[in-house]
Structure 1
């Protein structure tokens, strides 16, 4: 489901192919993090697993907001090493939260 949403949101259409989707399904307790190919060819194999574990650890303590914020912050800091901010950069994707009932 996460891969379908990634495509529906056109997250694979960025110039550097560096879109990221954090997918949460509360109804069936699922979590997925999808990084586009521009990221996945640069980061270590366990990159997204580490980010997911940050979230899961917090979620087990009922710290949902903290888990999401920590994961975004950690991933963002690490991704900045591979995709440093350039003077002419523009955000190609919305930062809005997308809600959908399944």
Structure 2
């Protein structure tokens, strides 16, 4: 997927750096992988369907322990979804994801998107760390940490 560059970025440089650093900090303690995908509009009625499509396009199911997590946001449509691979989903269960979404909506309802994403990444990072702790001998960063911007 090609990055989409707009005249006005979604986030300031500081907000972008905050999100990317939160991903790096979380992944430093787990073998799990997280990606953040931001676009204006969701092409699907259900944002989880769009998140599944992006997850597949990014080949996130190729992580060794099936512990990749995609955080998807369509800003103008005010849609979000979290799609997790089978390893982490089975480890934490459906209620965990509902709780994370409820938590982030507090931030999103105040239009504080960057801080909300950072908070969400930290919560997911804790779950990944608890279920897939980092092993210095075998783990490596399998996916880039940068935010992906769609259309």
1:93 equivalent in alignment to 2:128: no
Question: Among residues 93, 100, 103, which one is paired with 1:44 in the alignment?
Answer: 93
* Displacement of 1:97: 0.8
C-alpha distance in 1, partners of 2:111/2:102? 14
Q: Which has the higher contact order (CA 8 A, sep 6+)?
A: 2
Match of 2:119 in 1: 70
Match of 1:8 in 2: 57
Question: Among residues 30, 43, 47, which one is paired with 2:79 in the alignment?
Answer: 30
Question: How big is the alpha-carbon RMSD for the aligned residues of Structure 1 and Structure 2?
Answer: 1.0
C-alpha distance in 2, partners of 1:61/1:28? 15
- When normalised by structure 1's length, the TM-score is 0.93
- When normalised by structure 2's length, the TM-score is 0.64
Structure 2 residues without counterparts, runs of 5 or longer: 1-49
Alignment coverage as a number of residue pairs: 101
Q: Deviations over 1:18-70 (max 9, x none)?
A: 01100000131110000000111111321111111111111112221111111
4+ long deviations beyond 4 Å? none
